[in-house]
């Protein structure tokens, strides 16, 4: 797994052992960032369920101004810190551009920082039941009015989130196929 574009292109990302963390594939990130294009530049990015940090680090490599990573898994946090240091060093960015927060995303509130680009890659086993709750408790409080939310989810799910509009879907539809849904406020 590596950074696929921007100033840190080619940097290898460390991943935790085991199957607890499911990192976004290089191909999926390439598709997302091709779709987002230059709109990533200067964004304030949040990476929820960050795992290795691949989404937020890819955004930093492609010109986002800051990225905040939310993760609670100890092994994932170790890899995330190492990955962030490698990307920041490669891009010659100040360490304040990347913030890693070991905090449950359901405890975010309106006093948390606000973001205009939010990546969300929850564990697949909870996504169908908890996606509306994730939007209500985690995304809604931190999303700026013009925010876009990128959610990785199984291809068989048809997400319908109150007050949010699905503007684009990437990937192949199917039960075991990863896809991405891009939302904006309705």
Question: pTM for the full model?
Answer: 0.92
DSSP string for residues in 143-168: EEEEEEEEEEEETT-----TTEEEEE
Which phi and psi angles does 41 have, rounded to 5°? -60, 135
Instruction: Supply the pLDDT for residue 91.
Output: 81
The upper half-sphere exposure of residue 127, i.e. CA atoms within 13 Å in the direction of its Cβ, equals 22
Q: Which residue has the tokens 């709750």?
A: 133
| CATH H-level, domain 26-172: superfamily | Vaccinia Virus protein VP39 (3.40.50.150)
Mean pLDDT for each consecutive 10-residue tract of the chain (186 residues)?
Answer: 90 82 77 93 96 94 95 92 92 86 83 91 86 92 95 89 94 80 94
Q: Which phi-psi region, left, alpha or beta, contains residue 157 (left: φ > 0; alpha: ψ -120 to 50)?
A: beta
Q: Which of 61, 62, 10, 11 is nearest to 36 (CA)?
A: 62
Q: Yes or no: say if 171 and 180 are a contact pair by the CB < 8 Å rule.
A: yes
φ/ψ region of 110 (left if φ > 0, alpha if ψ in -120 to 50, else beta) reads alpha
Return the domain boundaries, the chain: 26-172
- pLDDT at position 56 is 96
Which pLDDT value is given to residue 60?
95
Longest dimension (CA), the chain: 41
pLDDT at site 78:
94
């Amino acid at each position: 797994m590596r950074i696929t574009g921007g100033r840190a292109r080619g940097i290898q990302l460390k991943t935790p052992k085991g199957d607890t963390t499911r990192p976004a594939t290089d191909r999926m990130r390439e598709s997302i960032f091709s779709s987002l294009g230059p709109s990533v530049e200067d964004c304030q990015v949040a990476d929820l369920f960050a795992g290795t940090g691949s989404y937020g680090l890819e955004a930093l490599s492609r010109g986002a101004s800051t990225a905040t990573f939310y993760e609670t898994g100890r092994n994932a946090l170790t890899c995330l810190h190492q990955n962030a240091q490698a990307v920041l060093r490669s891009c010659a960015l100040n360490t304040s551009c990347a913030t890693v927060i070991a905090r449950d995303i359901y405890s975010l509130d309106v006093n948390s920082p606000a973001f205009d680009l939010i990546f969300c890659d929850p564990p697949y086993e909870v996504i169908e039941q908890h996606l509306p709750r994730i939007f209500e408790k985690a995304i809604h409080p931190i999303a700026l009015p013009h925010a876009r939310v990128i959610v990785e989810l199984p291809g068989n799910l048809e997400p319908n989130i109150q007050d949010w509009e699905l503007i684009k879907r990437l990937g192949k539809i199917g039960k075991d196929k990863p896809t991405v849904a891009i939302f904006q406020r309705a």
